[in-house]
C-alpha cells in the first residue's frame, strides 16, 4: 500500500463525492482519490489497478454499484469494495453482501465510513498475509516431498548397492584370478581392462552410497592431477562429441588435502552442467588447474577462505550462460531451470557442500549467451605423496592349509570366495544356508580355523549366526562380509565378537590380509 490511501469512487454526484472525501480526510487519511461516473472510466481504472479501496454509489443511471461490483469480482481483483447509497433497503443491502461487497454505508450515516474502510483495509492485509504464508507452506511442502523422494532414492541406492556389490565381487574376483593364471597370455590385457572397469563400477557404487548416506569425507594429501584426469575421462565418455574438452594442468602442481571421490563428484557435477548448457550448439569445456595466491579481496568475499597459496580448479564452458536471477539462486538445493526428469537442482548444492567442507570456495562468472566460469579454490598443504613415492606393496599374506568355512547365500559369491581362498593357500568349506553352516561348524569345530559369514541372509543374519557360533565355541574366529554394512564399522564388529570386516567386493589382497589378522 502506498503512503496515501488510493480510492476509486464510482459516483455521478460531485457533491456526494466531495462529502465522502471530506469525511475520510476528517478521519486523518491522506488521500489519492479519483471520481469516475461511467462504466468505461470505471473499468479502465480498475484494470489499471493499484487501488487500496473501491467505493461505488448504488444507484447510478446506466451503470450501478452492483454491476461495478460484479465486474471487480469477475476480474479476480481482491480490493475491498464498499457500496454507498442514500436509498438502499434491507433486502438490497443483503444482496450486495451476497454479491461480494465488503460493506455498505448509507449517505445519511457517513460517519460509519471511516470505521468500514479501516476494518476492510485491515482484513485485506490479513488476507494477503494468510495467502503469503499458505504459499510459503506449500513451497515448503514441495521441498519436503522432494527431500523425502531423495531419501527414498538413498534407501533404494543402498539396496541396489548391496546386490550390485555381490555381482561385482564375482566379476572382480574371477577377473583377478584369471589375470593371475594368465601370466604371459595376450588375453591378460583384456582382463586388466575388465578389472579397471569393475574397479570404476565399485567406485561408482561407493559414490552413490556417499550421496545417499552422507558418508564423512576421507581426506588424503594428493595432487589434483589424477582426479582431474579420471573425471575428464568419465565426462568424455558421457557427453556429446560436439562438445570439445580441453584440460590444462601445470607441470608442477602442489598438494591439497581432499577427499578424491568428492572432488571427482564435484567435477562431474560441474562438467555435466556445462555440457547441458552447450547441448544445443556444442562448444568447448575447459578444465584448468593453476596455483594461485588468495589475497584480501577473495578473503573478504568468502569468509571461510584463508589468505595464502591455493590450487584453483576452473571449469568453464561456452554455453548458454545464466541471467542474474539464476545466478542468485543456483546453489540453492532443488533450484533448477531444467524440466521435470532433467534435473533435481541438487548438483550445485552438493558441489557447494563439498567445497565448504574442504575450507575452499567457489565463485561463478556468467553472462547470458557467452558461457560460464566456475572457479574453485583449495588450500595447498605442506607436503604430499608426490614428494614421497609410495613404498612397494608387501606380498599378500597366505594361508598354510587352514580350514575356512565360508557362508553366503549368493552362490556366485560363494564359488568365487572358495576359489580365492584356495588360491591363497587355505582349504575351504562352503555353505549357502546359515543353518547348514551352523551344523557344519558344530560337527567340525575342531578343524575349522576361521568362519567367514555374510551379513544378510534369509532365515538367519550373520550377526545371529555369529552369536550361535560363539556359544558353541567362544574362541571361534569369525569375519563378517557384506556389500552394504550400513552403520556397522570395524569397531562395532569387534565389539560383536568378530575378528574382521570385509566389504564386498574385496580384492585378493584384502581377503589375504583380513584372514591373516584374524588368525593371529
Ligand atoms: N554451466 C552452466 N551454464 C548455465 N547454467 C547453469 C550452469 N550450471 C548450472 N546452471 C544453472 O543452475 C541450475 C542449478 O544447477 P544444479 O546443478 O544445482 O541443478 P541441475 O543441473 O538443474 O540438476 P541436477 O544437477 O540435480 O541434475 C541449473 O538448472 C542451470 O539453470
Ligand atoms: Mg546439475
For residue 351, give the ligand nearest its CA.
1
Q: Going edge to edge, which strands form the sheet with 81-85?
A: 31-36, 5-10, 53-57, 81-85, 103-106
- pLDDT over 90 at 407, yes or no: yes
Nearest alpha carbon to residue 81 among 100, 67, 95, 94 = 100
Would you state the pLDDT for residue 214?
Answer: 45
Burial class of residue 402, CB neighbours in 10 A (0-12, 13-18, 19+): middle
Residue nearest to atom 9 of ligand 1 (CA): 273
The predicted-structure confidence for 340-366, as pLDDT tens digits, reads as follows 767 777 788 778 878 888 999 999 999
Domains (ranges, CATH) in the chain?
5-109 (3.40.50.2300), 224-379 (3.30.565.10), 403-518 (3.40.50.2300)
CB neighbours (10 Å) of residue 352? 17
With a CB cutoff of 8 Å and minimum separation 6, the contacts of 181 are: none
- pLDDT over 50 at 387, yes or no: no
The predicted-structure confidence for 272-289, as pLDDT tens digits, reads as follows 999 999 999 999 999 999
> How much is the mean pLDDT over the chain?
87
478-482 and 500-503 as β-strands: parallel, antiparallel, unpaired?
Answer: parallel
- pLDDT over 50 at 386, yes or no: no
Beta bridge partners of 433: none
Q: What is the pTM of this model?
A: 0.45
Would you state the pLDDT for residue 23?
Answer: 94
- H runs (alpha helix) in 38-110: 39-48, 65-75, 90-98
The predicted-structure confidence for 286-305, as pLDDT tens digits, reads as follows 999 999 999 988 988 887 89
Q: Give kind and range of the element (H or E) at residue 52.
A: none
Residue nearest to atom 12 of ligand 1 (CA): 330
The predicted-structure confidence for 473-492, as pLDDT tens digits, reads as follows 999 999 999 876 565 777 88
Instruction: Looking at the CA of residue 374, tell me the nearest atom of ligand 1.
Output: 1
Would you state the pLDDT for residue 169?
Answer: 81
pLDDT band for 1, please (50, 70, 90 cuts): very low
Answer for the pair 42, 36: CB distance below 8 angstroms, yes or no: yes
Would you state the pLDDT for residue 388?
Answer: 47
Q: What percentage of the chain exceeds 70 in pLDDT? A: 91
Q: What percentage of the chain exceeds 90 in pLDDT? A: 51
Around 438, how many Cα atoms within 13 Å sit in the side-chain half-sphere?
17
Please give the average per-residue pLDDT across 199-227, as a whole number: 72
C-alpha cell at 71: 465486474
Would you state the pLDDT for residue 152?
Answer: 67
C-alpha cell at 438: 551352523
Answer for the pair 365, 358: CB distance below 8 angstroms, yes or no: no
- pLDDT over 60 at 459, yes or no: yes
Please give the average per-residue pLDDT across 241-261, as a whole number: 91
Residue nearest to atom 13 of ligand 1 (CA): 336
Calculate the dihedral angle through the C-alpha atoms of 421, 425, 426, 428, rounding to the nearest 10 degrees: 60
**Residues within a 6 A CB radius of ligand 1:** 269, 273-274, 277, 317, 319-322, 326, 330, 335-338, 343-349, 372
Answer for the pair 84, 92: CB distance below 8 angstroms, yes or no: no
Mutate to test the pocket of ligand 1, among 153, 275, 330, 346 (most ligand atoms within 8 A of CB): 330
Amino acid at each position: 500500500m502506498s503512503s496515501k490511501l488510493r480510492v476509486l469512487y464510482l459516483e455521478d454526484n460531485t457533491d456526494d463525492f466531495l462529502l465522502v472525501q471530506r469525511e475520510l480526510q476528517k478521519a486523518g487519511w491522506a488521500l489519492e482519490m479519483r471520481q469516475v461516473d461511467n462504466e468505461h472510466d470505471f473499468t479502465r481504472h480498475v484494470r489499471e489497478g493499484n487501488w487500496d479501496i473501491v467505493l461505488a454509489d448504488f444507484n447510478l443511471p446506466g451503470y450501478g454499484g452492483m454491476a461495478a461490483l460484479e465486474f471487480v469480482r469477475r476480474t479476480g481483483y481482491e480490493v475491498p469494495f464498499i457500496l454507498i447509497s442514500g436509498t438502499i433497503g434491507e433486502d438490497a443491502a443483503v444482496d450486495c453482501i451476497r454479491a461480494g461487497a465488503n460493506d455498505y454505508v448509507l449517505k445519511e450515516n457517513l460517519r460509519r465510513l471511516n470505521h468500514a474502510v479501516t476494518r476492510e483495509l485491515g482484513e485485506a492485509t490479513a488476507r494477503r498475509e494468510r495467502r503469503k504464508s499458505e504459499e510459503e507452506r506449500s513451497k515448503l511442502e514441495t521441498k519436503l516431498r522432494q527431500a523425502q523422494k531423495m531419501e527414498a532414492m538413498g534407501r533404494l541406492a543402498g539396496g541396489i548397492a548391496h546386490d550390485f556389490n555381490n555381482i561385482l565381487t564375482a566379476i572382480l574376483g574371477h577377473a583377478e584370478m584369471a589375470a593371475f593364471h594368465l601370466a604371459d597370455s595376450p588375453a591378460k590385457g583384456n582382463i586388466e581392462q575388465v578389472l579397471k572397469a569393475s574397479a570404476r563400477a565399485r567406485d561408482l557404487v561407493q559414490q552413490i552410497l556417499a550421496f545417499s548416506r552422507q558418508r564423512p569425507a576421507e581426506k588424503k594429501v594428493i595432487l589434483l592431477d589424477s582426479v582431474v584426469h579420471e573425471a575428464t575421462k568419465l565426462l568424455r565418455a558421457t557427453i556429446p562429441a560436439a562438445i570439445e574438452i580441453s584440460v590444462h594442468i601445470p607441470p608442477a602442481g602442489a598438494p591439497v588435502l581432499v577427499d578424491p571421490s568428492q572432488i571427482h563428484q564435484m567435477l562431474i557435477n560441474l562438467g555435466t552442467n556445462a555440457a547441458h548448457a552447450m547441448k544445443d550448439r556444442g562448444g568447448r569445456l575447459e578444465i584448468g588447474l593453476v596455483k594461485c595466491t588468495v589475497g584480501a579481496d577473495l578473503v573478504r568475499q568468502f569468509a571461510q577462505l584463508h589468505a595464502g597459496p591455493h590450487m584453483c580448479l576452473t571449469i568453464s564452458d561456452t554455453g548458454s550462460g545464466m541471467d542474474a536471477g539464476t545466478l542468485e539462486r543456483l546453489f540453492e538445493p532443488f533450484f533448477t531451470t531444467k524440466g521435470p526428469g532433467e534435473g533435481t537442482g541438487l548438483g550445485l548444492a552438493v558441489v557447494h557442500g563439498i567445497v565448504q567442507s574442504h575450507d575452499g570456495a567457489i565463485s561463478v562468472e556468467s553472462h547470458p549467451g557467452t558461457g560460464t566460469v566456475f572457479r574453485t579454490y583449495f588450500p595447498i598443504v605442506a607436503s604430499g605423496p608426490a614428494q614421497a613415492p609410495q613404498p612397494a606393496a608387501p606380498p599378500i599374506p597366505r594361508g598354510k592349509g587352514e580350514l575356512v568355512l565360508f557362508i553366503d547365500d549368493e552362490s556366485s559369491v560363494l564359488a568365487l570366495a572358495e576359489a580365492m581362498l584356495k588360491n591363497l593357500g587355505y582349504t575351504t568349506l562352503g555353505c549357502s544356508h546359515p543353518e547348514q553352516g551352523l551344523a557344519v561348524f558344530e560337527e567340525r569345530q575342531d578343524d575349522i580355523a576361521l568362519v567367514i559369514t555374510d551379513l544378510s541372509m534369509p532365515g538367519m543374519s550373520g550377526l545371529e549366526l555369529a552369536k550361535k557360533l560363539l556359544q558353541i565355541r567362544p574362541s571361534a574366529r569369525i569375519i563378517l562380509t557384506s556389500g552394504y554394512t550400513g552403520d556397522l564399522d570395524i569397531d562395532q564388529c569387534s565389539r560383536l565378537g568378530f575378528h574382521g570386516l570385509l566389504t564386498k567386493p574385496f580384492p585378493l589382497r584384502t581377503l589375504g590380509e583380513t584372514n591373516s589378522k584374524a588368525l593371529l
